[in-house]
Amino acid sequence: MWARLDVLRPLGLLLVRVVVGAVLIAHGWPKLFASTAFLEAFPKMGFPAWAVYVAGTVELFGGILLVLGLFTRVAAFFISGQFFVAFVKVHWKLGERAWYGFLGTGDEYPLVLSVLAFLLLTLGAGALSLDRLIFKSKA
């Protein structure tokens, strides 16, 4: 019975790509163009100020690539890595907390994005993508 759901895999990958990509675009744009607050915030989190531009570039252009399904695995590699570092270096280190305090404090945002990007890294863009159209890849 569950095997019948395999026909929905391209749609599932498309939804993951578009939703994650849209979230990344929305968060990358202000880092690059709209706010100087990030330039002040990044050093307080232990990163050099110029890392704002790296993060914004990965988010904005990585998000665009995910939405298009173009160079998906390359984009997903950088996105997954960036958000894993953000999770470990910033969000996880915000303070000691009980397990119930871990969820719902903002920690889940970079963790979920990192894992979803890792999913796209391992599975590829799917059939409904420019990767498939241009490169004829099965993933």
Dihedral sign for Cα atoms in the order 29, 34, 35, 39: positive
> Cα(first)–Cα(last) distance of the chain, in Å?
23
Mind listing the pLDDT tens digit for each residue in 57-92?
999 999 999 999 999 999 999 999 999 999 888 877
Tokens standing for 72? 């998906």
Tokens standing for 135? 């490169």
Model confidence at 101: pLDDT above 80: no
Contact of 129 with 69, CB cutoff 8 Å: yes
For the ranges 10-19, 46-55, 71-80, 100-109, the lowest mean pLDDT is seen at 100-109
- Domain boundaries of the chain, sorted by first residue: 7-135
Mean pLDDT of 98-115: 72
Model confidence at 97: pLDDT above 80: no
